[in-house]
Amino acid sequence: MNLYVKIAFRYLFGKKSTNAIHIITWISIIGMAIGTAALILILSVFNGFEGILSGMLSHFNPDIKITLNEGKYMSRDKIDTTLFTRTQGIDAYAFTIEETSFFDYKGSQEVGIIKGVDNQFLKVTGIDTALLYGQAQFGKPTEFALLGSGMNTKLSVNPSDGFTPVNAYMPLRKAKGPLSKEFNSYSFYASGIFSVGNDVDMQYVLVNFDAVNQLLGLENNFSAIEIKKQPGYNDKKLANTLQQALGPAFKVSNRYQQDENFLKIMNIEKWVSYLIACLTLLIIAFNLVGSLWMIVLEKKKDIAILKSMGMTTHNIRWIFLTLGLLVSAIGMVLGYVIGIIMYLLQKNYGIISIPEGFMIDAYPIEMHMGDFIIVTLTVLSIGYISALLPSIRAGKISSFVRQV
């Protein structure tokens, strides 16, 4: 064992002249343990929320999405679909078209997004696994639709009502004459209700692909191509391949890029919370500064003897820096034990619940190995900083002992 560690270990657990030093030292260790547990649990809870929300979004968003850089729609005839069948890594693809529309049901009126899809959409996404009611029907006949749970609530649609349709209205793209109507309409019945847990629920209505084309006064046009990659295939590599093949007229986005703004906000909240917890841990570390300072004062004679035996000021400083790191490491290990116990209790029993009205009953939690590395570096850095002043003070102690 390194000499610094041996001496630091003896100073930490050896007999003290006053019991107060022992008490303050263990308060420091317990404080570091609580702070460490808080840091790892904060990161784990945000990981849990991110995992749940990303998983729910995966029911609606594809692995790869291709959109137009200019204009809203394009004819499917202008796309060589053999590109998607011959490109390695593509499992399935679907053409979709969406536009803002006005909806009416028994006097309840809302503005939302109507999205035209076909049965291939079920192969590309997992929307059929996010159904709260009914089933997905996007083929023939065309008068059926899936409503987001939020849109269904806003319109007060009764899914079992087979007599009153929901009406969607869209302004005409071109005026046909002074006596012609100013909008196209499309009537449909709710075949099911879906929920993916975000703004999609509040805005989207999924209907037949051809029906939206007719509503827009178009024929066989699309606004996006949605792709499911083969299991295990790298989505970034596939997106780059498609981008090179399609050229600058199209924008190719992987799953992260589709939800980039949402995920960035989640990350900002996560690291702001982490920094706040780090500040709390810094305040706790003042106890460590106090306990180390008291040990320095108590061990003046020992330090003088060590110096007279040949130890340099640098060596003395490293003894107390090591002592600070040792206290932090012990507190950190205890904190990890507390954090893992809390994680298992929350994961298996949901001891901290979420108020009613949410999609889950308890706070989600998920530990990542990378978080342990981040927390370890944070705690040891705080321990090192806390030990700096006491170690500098220890280095200034003279090698001469005045006899009284």
Asked which of 220, 255, 290 is the last residue of a domain, the reply is 255
- Let me know whether 19 and 131 are in one domain: no
In a domain, 403, yes or no: no
Express each pLDDT in 199-226 by its tens digit: 788 999 999 999 999 999 898 899 999 9
Residue 177's Cβ-count burial label (10 Å; 0-12, 13-18, 19+) is exposed
Per-residue pLDDT, averaged over 167-181, amounts to: 70
Do residues 280 and 203 share a domain?
no
Question: Do 99 and 196 share a domain, yes or no?
Answer: yes
Look at strands 90-105 and 108-117 and give their pairing. Answer: antiparallel
What's the pLDDT at 349?
A: 87
Instruction: Assess if residue 216 is contained within a domain.
Output: yes
Residue 56 vs residue 61, higher pLDDT = 61
* Nearest CA-CA partner of 312 in 401, 395, 373: 395
**Domain coverage including residue 358:** 3-57+262-395
Residues 232 and 266 in one domain: no
pLDDT, average across residues 53-82: 86
What is the predicted pLDDT for the residue at 15? 67
pLDDT digit string, tens, across residues 123-141: 898 888 888 888 888 877 6
Q: What number of other Cβ atoms are within 10 A of residue 194's Cβ? A: 25
Cα(129)–Cα(296) distance, integer angstroms: 64
Average pLDDT value for the chain? 86
What is the per-residue pLDDT across 285-323, written as a single tens digit (0 to 9) for each?
A: 888 888 888 888 888 888 888 888 878 888 888 888 988
Q: Which helix (H) or strand (E) holds 244?
A: helix 235-246
* pLDDT reading at 229 higher than 80: yes
Q: Is the pTM of this model over 0.85?
A: no
Do 115 and 235 have their domain in common?
Answer: yes
Are 250 and 367 contained in the same domain?
no
Looking at the structure, tell me whether residues 302 and 245 fall in a common domain.
no
Check whether residue 250 and residue 169 sit in a common domain. yes
- Are 230 and 104 in the same domain? yes
Q: Is the pLDDT of residue 72 over 70?
A: yes
